[in-house]
């Protein structure tokens, strides 16, 4: 049996509101993300999708329960062990999170300069190869403020790929992009995953487009997660909130698939 | 009614304690980050240039005007007792022990502290600090500790410069405009200023530097956890204002406390 890349066991997470009440974001959540596959975590705004990503990255701790990455429980990791955990991940943030004061080249080179002992020549070669792969040649000296949304995503993806992560996390990767750029970015994800074979976790509310990439879909609703082995399986669920979700989104999915063809 | 009031009071108390706790941990991590390798020498130089060299003009104008006002006011007061000869002593002691460290720290808090707070706040809300964490790059070593080091180096040096320019300003006002004898101004300064006074001024300036950089960077770093700050760009602007106000008040309060303890 293969170990799941990421596994949640009975995870609870809640936040206190200003009025003193408690908002349960994850309420005893169990799921496993298979190695080498693409899992989409979908759900409405404020349902805890980004919180789930932050828990996986240990940027946030859980109230109770266990989270495993490649079979290792991450709750107690500190210092160097935590650093080692994080080097297994590549993350593409919603707003790309590029460093404003660094050029495109410096942004992509940052993880290599900070996390490896490579020489400047080796870094120069690797970064330039990446920039060529992500069609960013000629933009090396530009600053993030001079780039379009799609280019920022490509720079973010190039930076995330530098340390050859085994798991890629995408947080709302196409927010703010037009449909053409969205399609291009998803093709880029698919091509990159086919080349490097990493596990993908995509958090998105851009459901119709994302479902084309998904091997597994997790729907997050009011702190509870429903796991489906394929996007098609969602249609046959009898749970009311899933049916509601299907009604809201499935029409769009078929429309999106037609557009693709 | 009373229970509501007590609940709010308790909530505020808990918030203050939590905030103090995270700010203390922040200070410890920032100080430890100074000793972590690899050392970011280039970033330290960049910060020294911004915090130190960039503040020279502000310090020059503040110091010269403060020194000249002290010269005129001091002459006016001392003249009533026929003690104009003590002007050099009064100006230099006031500047070295009090006004130099305090005004330098306030100027740096307004100019560089606000910028550091806003920079970190923007980096936090645009997930740049999260991105560093995700790349397993320690944000303290990479971003914050160079700012700490540069501020702790810059403020005492700027204070020394402030003192010298201020004393020169006092000389111009007292000797140049009010006809105080140059010899008595210089002699008064030489005989009254002791090593202890200079040491007191230096200790104060180092302590104020730590306060300014700690509060400015800490507020920016925790921009999303500060009660009432709001969200997005508004939160950064509010927290930046809060950082400057808090730094300034802390400098003034600790000036009294340090004087009381060290004098």
Please report the pLDDT score of residue B86 as a whole number. Answer: 87
Please report the pLDDT score of residue B63 as a whole number. Answer: 96
pLDDT digits (tens, 9 = 90+) for B39-81: 888 999 999 999 999 999 999 999 999 999 999 999 999 888 8
- Say yes or no for a CB contact (<8 Å) between A98 and B128: yes
Q: Which residues of B touch A99 (CB under 8 A)?
A: 123, 128, 131
- Does the structure show a pLDDT above 90 at B216? yes
- Average pLDDT over chain B reads 92
- Does the structure show a pLDDT above 60 at B23? yes
Biggest CA-to-CA distance, chain A: 58
User: CA of A239 to nearest chain B CA: how many angstroms apart?
Assistant: 35
- Percent of chain B that is helix, strand, coil (3-state, to 5): 90, 0, 10
- Say yes or no for a CB contact (<8 Å) between B135 and A163: yes
Q: What is the mean pLDDT of residues A30-45?
A: 86
**Radius of gyration of the CA atoms of chain B, in A:** 22
- Say yes or no for a CB contact (<8 Å) between B136 and A57: no
Q: Residue A19 — pLDDT band, cuts 50, 70, 90?
A: low
Contact A154, A181 (CB under 8 A): no
| pTM of this structure | 0.85
Which of A89, A95, A110 is closest, CB to CB, to B127? Answer: A95
Please report the pLDDT score of residue B249 as a whole number. Answer: 97
Q: Are strands A64-69 and A72-73 parallel, antiparallel or unpaired?
A: antiparallel
- Does the structure show a pLDDT above 60 at A253? no
Q: What is the ipTM of this complex?
A: 0.82
The number of beta carbons lying within 10 Å of the beta carbon of residue A62 is 20
Sequence-distant (≥ 6) Cβ neighbours of residue B123 within 8 angstroms? A99, B129, B143, B220
Please report the pLDDT score of residue A206 as a whole number. Answer: 67
Strand A6-16's sheet: what is its strand order? A22-33, A6-16, A64-69, A72-73
Question: In B48-99, which ranges are continuous DSSP H helix?
Answer: 56-79, 87-94
Q: Which is higher by pLDDT, A179 or B31?
A: B31
Chain A stretch 66-85, residues whose beta carbon is closer than 8 A to a beta carbon of chain B:
82-84
Instruction: Please tell me if residue A60 touches chain B, with a CB cutoff of 8 Å.
Output: no
Instruction: Please tell me if residue A225 touches chain B, with a CB cutoff of 8 Å.
Output: no
Q: Which of A147, A220, A151, A205 is nearest to A175 (CA)?
A: A205
- Does the structure show a pLDDT above 90 at B36? no
Please report the pLDDT score of residue A250 as a whole number. Answer: 59
Q: What is the mean pLDDT of residues B13-30?
A: 93
Q: Are strands A167-171 and A89-92 parallel, antiparallel or unpaired?
A: parallel
- Does the structure show a pLDDT above 90 at A148? no
- Say yes or no for a CB contact (<8 Å) between B136 and A87: yes
pLDDT digits (tens, 9 = 90+) for B165-202: 999 999 999 998 888 889 989 998 899 999 999 999 99
Instruction: Please tell me if residue A15 touches chain B, with a CB cutoff of 8 Å.
Output: no
d(CA A129, CA A105): 11
- Tokens found for residue B171: 């000389």
- Tokens found for residue A184: 């291009």
Please report the pLDDT score of residue A120 as a whole number. Answer: 93
Exposed, middle or buried by CB within 10 Å (0-12, 13-18, 19+), for B98?
middle
- Does the structure show a pLDDT above 60 at A258? no
Domain boundaries, chain A: 100-163
Contact B148, B31 (CB under 8 A): yes
**Structure letter (DSSP) for residue B172:** I
- Does the structure show a pLDDT above 80 at B146? yes
pLDDT digits (tens, 9 = 90+) for A43-99: 777 778 888 899 999 988 899 999 999 888 998 888 888 888 888 899 998 888 999
Residue of chain A nearest B7, judged by CA positions: A20
Residue of chain A nearest B138, judged by CA positions: A83
How distant, in Å, are the alpha carbons of B48, B144, B230 from that of B150? 5, 10, 30
Q: Which residues of B touch A (CB under 8 A)?
A: 7, 11, 122-123, 126-128, 130-131, 133-137, 142
Cis peptide before A5 (omega within 30 of 0): no
d(CA B48, CA B46): 5
Q: Which is higher by pLDDT, A196 or B145?
A: B145
d(CA A57, CA A27): 19
d(CA A225, CA A27): 9
Instruction: Please tell me if residue A228 touches chain B, with a CB cutoff of 8 Å.
Output: no
- Tokens found for residue B197: 């006074």
Please report the pLDDT score of residue A241 as a whole number. Answer: 74
- Does the structure show a pLDDT above 60 at A252? no
Instruction: Please tell me if residue A97 touches chain B, with a CB cutoff of 8 Å.
Output: yes
Q: Which residues of A touch B128 (CB under 8 A)?
A: 97-100
pLDDT digits (tens, 9 = 90+) for A199-227: 999 888 766 666 777 888 888 887 778 88
d(CA B5, CA B14): 14
The DSSP code sequence of chain A is -PPPSEEEEEEEEEEE-TTS-EEEEEEEEEEEE-TTSEEEEE--TTSSHHHHHHHHTTSS--SEEEEEETTEE-TT--HHHHHHHHTTEEEE-TT----TTS-HHHHHHHHHHHH----HHHHHHHHHHHHHHTT-TT-TT--GGGS-HHHHHHHHHHHHHTT--SEEEEESTTTT--HHHHHHHHHHHHHHHHHH--EEEEEES-HHHHHTT-SEEEEEETTEEEEESSGGGGGG---HHHHHHHHHHHHHHHHHHHHH-
């Amino acid at each position: 049996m293969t170990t799941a890349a990421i596994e949640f066991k009975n995870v609870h997470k809640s936040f206190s509101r200003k009025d003193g009440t408690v908002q349960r974001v994850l309420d005893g959540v169990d799921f496993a993300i298979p190695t080498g596959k693409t899992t989409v975590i979908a759900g409405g705004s404020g349902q805890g999708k980004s919180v789930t990503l932050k828990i996986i990255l240990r940027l946030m701790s859980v109230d109770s329960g266990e989270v495993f990455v490649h079979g290792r429980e991450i709750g107690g990791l500190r210092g160097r062990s935590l650093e080692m955990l994080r080097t297994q991940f590549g993350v593409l943030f919603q707003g790309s999170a590029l460093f404003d004061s660094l050029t495109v080249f410096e942004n992509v080179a940052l993880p290599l300069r900070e996390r490896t002992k490579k020489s400047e020549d080796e870094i120069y070669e690797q970064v330039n190869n990446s920039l060529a792969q992500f069609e960013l040649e000629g933009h090396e000296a530009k600053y993030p403020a001079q780039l379009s949304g799609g280019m920022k995503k490509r720079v973010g993806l190039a930076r995330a790929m530098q340390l050859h992560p085994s798991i890629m996390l995408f947080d709302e990767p196409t927010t703010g992009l037009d449909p053409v750029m969205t399609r291009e970015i998803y093709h880029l994800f698919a091509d990159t995953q086919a080349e490097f074979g990493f596990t993908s976790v995509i958090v998105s509310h851009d459901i119709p487009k994302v479902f084309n990439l998904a091997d597994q879909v997790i729907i997050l609703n009011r702190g509870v997660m429903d796991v489906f082995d394929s996007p098609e399986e969602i249609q046959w669920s009898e749970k009311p909130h899933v049916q509601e979700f299907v009604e809201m989104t499935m029409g769009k999915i078929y429309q999106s698939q037609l557009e693709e063809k | 009614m009373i229970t509501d009031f007590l609940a709010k009071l308790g909530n505020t108390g808990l918030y203050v304690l939590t905030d103090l706790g995270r700010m203390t941990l922040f200070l410890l991590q920032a100080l430890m980050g100074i000793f972590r390798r690899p050392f970011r020498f280039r970033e330290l130089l960049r910060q020294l240039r911004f915090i130190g060299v960039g503040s020279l003009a502000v310090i020059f104008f503040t110091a010269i005007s403060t020194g000249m006002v002290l010269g005129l006011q001091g002459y006016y007061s001392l003249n009533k007792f026929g003690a104009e000869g003590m002007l050099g002593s009064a100006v230099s002691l006031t500047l070295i022990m009090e006004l130099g460290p305090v005004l330098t720290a306030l100027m740096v808090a307004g100019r560089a502290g606000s910028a550091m707070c806003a920079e970190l706040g923007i980096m936090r809300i645009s997930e740049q600090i999260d991105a560093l964490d995700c790349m397993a790059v320690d944000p303290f070593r990479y971003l914050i500790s160079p700012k700490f080091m540069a501020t702790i180096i810059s403020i005492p040096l700027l204070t020394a410069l402030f003192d010298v320019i201020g004393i020169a300003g006092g000389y111009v006002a007292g000797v140049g405009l009010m006809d105080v004898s140059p010899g008595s101004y210089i002699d008064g300064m030489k005989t009254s200023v002791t090593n202890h006074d200079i040491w007191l001024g230096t200790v104060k300036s180092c302590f104020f530097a730590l306060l300014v950089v700690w509060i400015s960077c800490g507020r920016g770093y925790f921009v999303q956890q500060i009660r009432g700050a709001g969200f997005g760009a508004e939160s950064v602007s509010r927290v930046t204002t809060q950082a400057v106000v808090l730094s300034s008040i802390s400098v003034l309060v600790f000036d009294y406390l340090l004087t009381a303890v060290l004098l």
